[in-house]
Each structure stands twice: as structure tokens, then as C-alpha cells.
Amino acid sequence: MPVKPSRVRFEHGHSGLGIGHREPRISWRFTGQETDWAQGGYELSIQKPGAEEARYRVVSGSSVLVPWPSAPLDSGEQAETGSLSASPTEWSEPSIVECGLLRVEDWSCRLVELAESQAIDKPKRPVWFRRSFNVAPDRQVQRARLYITSLGVYHAELNGQLVGDEQLAPGWTNYNLSIPYQTHDVTNSLRNGQNMLAAQVGEGWYAGRFGLFGGQRNIYGSQLGLICQLAITYQDGEVQTVESGDSWEASFGPILTSEMYDGEVYDAQQLIDVLQRSPNESWAPVRSSSLGGIVLKLFSPDAPPVQCTQEVRFREVLRCGPRKFILDFGQNLVGRLRVRVSGRPGHTITFQHVEVLENGECAIRPLRHTAAKDTLILSDGQVDWEPRFTFHGFRYVEVTNWPSGDDGVPGADDIIARVLHTDMERTGWFKCSDPLLNQLHSNIVRGMRGNFLSVPTDCPQRDERLGWTGDIAVFAPTGAYLYGVPSMLMDWLRTLTLEQLEDNGNVPPLISPNLFGPQGKNPTALWGDCVVTLPWDLYQATGDPRILEDQWESMSRWIDHGVDLDERGLWAKGRTWQLGDWLDPMAPPEEPGNGRADPFLVADACLIHSLDLMVAISAVLGKTNDQQRYEKWAARARTEFAREYISAAGRVASDSQTALALAIEYNLHPTPGQAERAAERLEEIIRNKARFKIATGFAGTPIIGHALTKVHRSQLFYRMLLHRKCPSWLYTVLMGATTIWERWDSMLPDGSVNPGEMTSFNHYALGAVGNWMHRVIGGLWMDEPGWKKILIRPIPGGGLSSASVKYPSPYGLIEAGWEALEGGDGAETFQLEVSIPPNSTARIVFPEQCHETVTVGSGVHQYQVPYIPPEWPPLPIYPPFAPHDDDTP
């Protein structure tokens, strides 16, 4: 198939409408396949309404984030672009890019709220706001845009038609610092004559109860409000605006409460007709005020919205009493139910959501201060209902008081689970010959999607769902392969940065949006280091140095002034509270930070890693002085680290998997001999002490596989990855997990829930092993930031006979798959097939035993090389004295 530019996008994947950049950079991928195809140049056409088409020819191989060639766009201004590669290809499909409202003055609307305030110590009832307006009966509308946001979370309707399919808009950010808005194309919902614009606002993160230990209400404000502006452009260029303001009216609808943690109470008997035009008593005038102190986020919204991306039918109905049953959806998901039911008016049904069952009952304890319960009160006739302003993390739903139909249980379409998350592009795929590893991989993906809901969260079910910096810091390399994360995480980093720099500060908050106030700014290694590692990971995924530039102040302030240092340039010991190797499986359930590795060893290793990244980042940004400064500091810190923690022979204090892996992975040994001793020691404790079970928490888990691969011990890690007893990844799979658990033993082998009060079944951090699976088993990674140069280096093992990976890079689809084919005499053939997209190249490194490397251009490449499979399985050094809790294959 001939090569063709496709999927023209702006900045980091923005679809184009309402963009916050006046000179959006443009990228395109390629479809089709030709051998060694490289772009020699490109031609862009820019067509602005009412203007001549302009064409720009550029001699350049670049097809990612190329500069905007035309005059900067203005608020609401539109352009249509196409791209054409100089090595002749067809034109891509055109794409529209249009700016949002970029200046404060562009916002002429007012904030509308209920005239009478709601009680501040109770959940707030969602409010409908509406206004009717006229569109000239005899004129044609060229386009209509709705710019809208709320103090709370909202959904809007125009003439009864839902505007967009976004959920929980405008999402969660620190609303005190800036509120994002959405831009919708509503041209097709408008009609000549009378129209009705309406929006319902719920409390969401803005005013609802949120946070740890029972949380608090009214975090950002105590009243719900709507801000919107509809711009209708007629064919002759005239613009009519409809703005939120005095002429609006408000009412309550059937939702009595809709809370993030506690769920929704919906009384279908109180349904209102939002479209009804003649005002009746249920609609009251609003209070309106100028936008005054409200800061609208004028540079956003780049991230994709939260949407429903999948509907899941229940698999099984477990009976537990009359009119009471538990539905099993077969997977731990994040979202809510859609229910269709009829019964007597006033009949009340409840829906209790939980992740797991314990002794056949809903395990509610891990939800802590979260009710996760929805209540539906029926009216006459059929009720179709989906809660609006809440979400739950669940696999099971206990339904109480379902009206008894024929057999008293719902039909497959009567109760459906709807999956919600930030709708990022699904990118990286992985498959191999071991079904359990495939299940583990799909658990990693499912866990990720549920925890990428507006912000990257720790868990979706209990009274947290917070943007913990440490969790995303360890998971980012895995996440950035699985989904197109950059725009969402960059938005999140911007908020984090504003919170870090507030009051001239240097320490990033532990969670962002920061609900902990100044106390949340305890200098904490790994969590704080997120401000260095995450921009770096996003730079790797995109090749965009602007990410590093934008985050430079945040990262350099953290490293230079935020980290609590001693005179040696390491962390000052004992002065700060460190989370260490959080959730080491040996840490007591109630003390997850009290693991085997010294928390300050972990902190210092993370600091040195961050310093190394600061050297690399300074180099990318051409900051030579900083580069030298960080180089010197890193060298001194290494010397001091060795003095503090490394023995003359090379052992590492704490003598744990995490401590040794950190030292190996971050090159902390002064000499290669010492590093080799550490590798031997790590091998010894894995083979003997741990008997191949994992013994790492947040700090060690993402890197232990890479550390072992670095010291040519990948088979040891295969053995750990394939272990089936607790603690191990496959233990969770064999216990029926469909997401990654927070603890290695969130569920104990006897099926009971871990007694620790912090026990979730949907935490992505320990899924950071996905990165090793993609890079080492699948063998796919970038050879330089941004994927223009690809590295294919599979290291087969673990008795696997095949693996394959797939990733749509910024250039097009990369595919790689290997198979180890049986030959005679223990010899095998290693077969590799790769497909490299146009305008990129790949370095292919065959497994160690083959000693071969080739560099290829685009196209499909197939290889067969003789190969001697690695010895399998690695065994404990000493046989156990007594029957051992082992699972030697």
C-alpha cells in the first residue's frame, strides 16, 4: 500500500476544536508501507475561512510537531489544514483546528448560581440552569460553539440533545488556580426560532466531600455555578452570543444527591421537563455575578475528556435473598450502572458497589469512608437511569429490592456497567505464549484506564482517588506505552507545578490537586522526584523538548531547593518523613513504609537518579552551566552514597532486592567489580532467600527486572515474573484479579481481604512491570526519544515460545513478533518479524546467543537465526530442608 500521511493532529494529539495554542504544532502519522521510505519534505495547506488557501513547502524529514507555518490564530479562529509529504504522496484528509477563547476579555458571560444558597454541611443537590433564546428564523447559521464550564461538574443540553459525550466535565484540577472549560460544536443542534440551552451542575470535586479520613466538603467553594457562552456565527459573519447571566433560571431535577464517594440518590418521581418553555413555579431566577476572581484556564484544554468507552454486561447473578442479589460483571472496572426498570411509584432499589466479595458478602471495609451506593426511587412506568455525578470502582453490585418480575432478576440489558475514564488513545499492545502473562498484561491495562480519570489517581473505589505523585512516577513508562498519555499528564503537571510554586515554594505536593495544604508538601523522595522523572518519561514518549522546558522551573527548584539535603549533597537523614520502598510485601499491613530497604537509601538512590536526569535534561535544553553543576553534584553524591551504603566488596546496605536493584540500575557502585558483586548478591537472595518471589515495593518494583537484565540475569526475572505463589504478580492473577492490586496480598490466600485498612484491588503502581514485559519480552522500545529511531531487542526466556508487540508510534504502526521454534538437539530457530513505519528506522538486536545487530528502514523485515534457548528454569542454590512454599516449574 502506498505511503500516505494520515491523522493530522495538533500539539499532543489534540483533535483541533477549542485548542489553547495560537500556533499549534502539527503532526501526522503514515499509513501504508514501503521499504526504506523517508520523508524528504512536506507541504502544508492552511485554509482560513474567507481567505485564500496558503501553501507552505518545507524541506525537512520532520513529521512530528512541526511548527505552525501561518499567522497565529486568534480566539475562536479556525483553519483547515492538510499535509503532504514531498516524496510524493497523496494529500492527507483535511483537519480543522480552531482556537478556544484565549483571553480573559473573550469571556463576557456571568457566573450563575441558585438565588438561595444550599446548606454547606450536606451534600448539594445538583441544579439545572436553563435559558431559552431565539435564532433568527430566516438566516442560516454557519457554525455555533458552546464554551462552557462550571463550579462543580456538569453536562449540557441544547434543545434536549446532549452536548458532547463528556462525563464529569470540566474534570478535576485545582479550581482555585484555574478552571478548564470545554468547547463544543453545537451547530447541528441549533434550530431557527426558539431554542433552549440547559445544563445540570453537580458538586463533583468542587464542592463535594472528598479526601482522606472522611475528607471535607466545599474544598473549592460551597455553591454550584455555571459559566457558559454560546457563539452563533451566521453565514454573513455576524455573531450572536448567548451568555450565562441574569436571564437564566434554575431548578432541581430528580437527582437528590450525587456524590463522588457516596453515590447518587435519584427520585424518578421528580422528573422535570427542561424543555418546557413557559416558566412555571419550579423554575426560579438565578443569582448572577461577574467572573471576577474566577480564573479560567485559558491555555487548555489539551487533554481528552472523561467518557464512557465500554459497556459491560454482568456475567452472573449470585442470589443472596428475596429481592436481593449480587451481579458479577466479571472484571473490576471503573464507572457506573445504567439501569432500566419498571415498578410501583416510590419503590426504592439500592445498588452497593464493591470490588471483591468476602465469604460471599460484599467486602465493604476496604471502601473506608465511601458508601459507593446508588439509590433509585421509581415512578410510574419504565425508568431509564444512569447516575450522573459519581463513579465507582467495582466488579460486584449488590442489588436490593429489585422489583420482582418473572423470576425477580434483571435481564442482560436491564443493568449494564458503563466504563468511564479519560479517553486517551489506546496504543501499546502485548501478547505472548503464556496465557497467565497475557491476563497480567490485560490487568495492567484495565487498572491503568480506571485510574486515569481526569487526573492520574491511586485507586478508584475508596475515599482517595487522589493524584499521588509517587504512583504515577513509577508507572509512567508503562502507562506511556499503553495509552497516549502526554496531553493528560502535561495538564496535570501544570497544576502540580502551580501548586508547587505557590507562595514561592519548591516542594511539590504529595498529591495534586493538593488537598493536604502546606502539610502535603513534605519533601519526599520518589514522590517528589516525579517532577523530574515524569517530564523525562513524557519527553521519551514524544521527543518534545518543550515539555522539559515547560517543567524546568519545577524540576530545578525541587532538586536545588526542595530536597532536604545534608552537607554531603545527599538527603539529610532523619529530618523528613520518607515513604521509602512503600508496600514492600514484608512491611506490616499497618506500616506500608516500613519495608526492608532503608528509606534514606531509597531516597538517596532516587536523588542520584534525578540528578542524572537533570544532567541529561540540561543537555537537551542547552543549559551547559547547569549540566556541569549537576554532573559534579551527581559524582559527589555517588561517592557519598558508596561511603554510606556500599561495602568494599560491593554489597549494599539493607541487603534487599530493592536496595541492590537500585544500586545496579542507577550505577551507584564505584567500580565494575563491586557492581558485579552486587549482581551476584542479588541473584543469591532471589534464588535462596526469596526463592524467586518478589520482595519489592514502589521503589524496587519498576526497576528490578531492568536491573537483572542489565547484569545479564533476565532469566531470573522471568522466573520471578512467572512465580505463582504470594507475593508475585501471577498469584494475583490466579486469585482471579482482573486489575493490579495495591498490595501484593490485597487478598490473602484464604480469600480474605488483607487486614490493613489501606487495601485496594485497583492500584496501577505494581503494574510498572509492564515496562519490562514490553521492552524485554516483546523487545520493543525507542532508541531515541520520540520513536523516530526504534530499538527491537527481545530477550526470550521463561520457557515462552513466542511474544508480539504493537505500538502506533508518532510515525505509524510498529509491530514486532518473535517465535522460538524447536529444532533437534536442544537447538532452536529464532524467528523475528518486524514492521517499521515510514520515516523511521530500527536497530534490531538479536538475542545474546545470536550475536547479531542490524539497522533497517521502514517496511516488513523477517529473520530466522539459529538459537540456543537459555537454561530454564533457574533453581534455588540450596534445596530446601523441608517442603517449601515453592512453585518450581
SS3 call for 580:
coil
* Binding-site ranges for ligand BGC (CB under 6 A): 458-459, 464, 468, 470-471, 579, 758, 763
Q: How far is the CB of 501 from ligand BGC (least distance, A)?
A: 22
Nearest Cα to 558, choosing from 591, 604, 607?
607
**DSSP-assigned beta bridge partners for residue 312:** 417
**Cα separation values, 350 from 318, 323, 365, Å:** 16, 11, 18
Nearest Cα to 666, choosing from 469, 481, 848, 525?
525
| CA 377 to mean position of chain CA atoms | 35
Region for 569 from its dihedrals, namely left if φ exceeds 0, alpha if ψ lies in -120 to 50, beta otherwise: left
Judge whether 243 counts as a catalytic residue: no
Write out the E strands in 298-428.
306-313, 316-321, 324-342, 348-354, 357-358, 361-362, 373-377, 382-385, 392-400, 415-422
Judge whether 676 counts as a catalytic residue: no
Listed in sequence order, the DSSP H helices in 722-820 are 729-734, 770-772
**Do 420 and 334 touch, CB atoms closer than 8 A?**
yes
**Cα separation values, 235 from 79, 96, 140, 238, 239, Å:** 17, 18, 6, 7, 9
Residue 853: half-sphere exposure toward Cβ, Cα within 13 Å: 8
Task: Tell me whether strands 324-342 and 316-321 are parallel, antiparallel or unpaired.
Answer: antiparallel
Q: Which is nearer to ligand BGC, 456 or 810 (CB)?
A: 456
**492, three cell numbers:** 496535570
Nearest Cα to 737, choosing from 757, 766, 762, 774?
762
Q: How far is the CB of 396 from ligand BGC (least distance, A)?
A: 21
CA–CA gap between residue 159 and residue 152 (Å, rounded): 22
**DSSP-assigned beta bridge partners for residue 162:** 157
Listed in sequence order, the DSSP H helices in 306-411 are none
Q: Which is nearer to ligand BGC, 421 or 763 (CB)?
A: 763
Nearest Cα to 409, choosing from 321, 520, 300, 293?
321
CA–CA gap between residue 166 and residue 423 (Å, rounded): 9
Within 10 angstroms of residue 644's Cβ, the number of other Cβ atoms is 15
The residue written with cell numbers 503532504 in the block is: 84
Which DSSP string corresponds to 125-136? PPEEEEEEEEE-
Q: Which is nearer to ligand BGC, 459 or 547 (CB)?
A: 459
Provide the residue type at 665 as one letter.
E
**255, three cell numbers:** 437527582
Q: How far is the CB of 468 from ligand BGC (least distance, A)?
A: 4
Residue in 464, 665, 819, 828 annotated catalytic? 464
Within 10 angstroms of residue 806's Cβ, the number of other Cβ atoms is 17
Which DSSP string corresponds to 104-130? GGG----EEEESSPPPTTSPPPPEEEE
Q: How far is the CB of 758 from ligand BGC (least distance, A)?
A: 5
Helix, strand, coil percentages for the chain (3-state, nearest 5): 25, 30, 45
Residue in 98, 499, 665, 742 annotated catalytic? 742
Q: Which is nearer to ligand BGC, 464 or 612 (CB)?
A: 464
Q: Which is nearer to ligand BGC, 213 or 878 (CB)?
A: 213
List residues with catalytic annotation: 464, 742
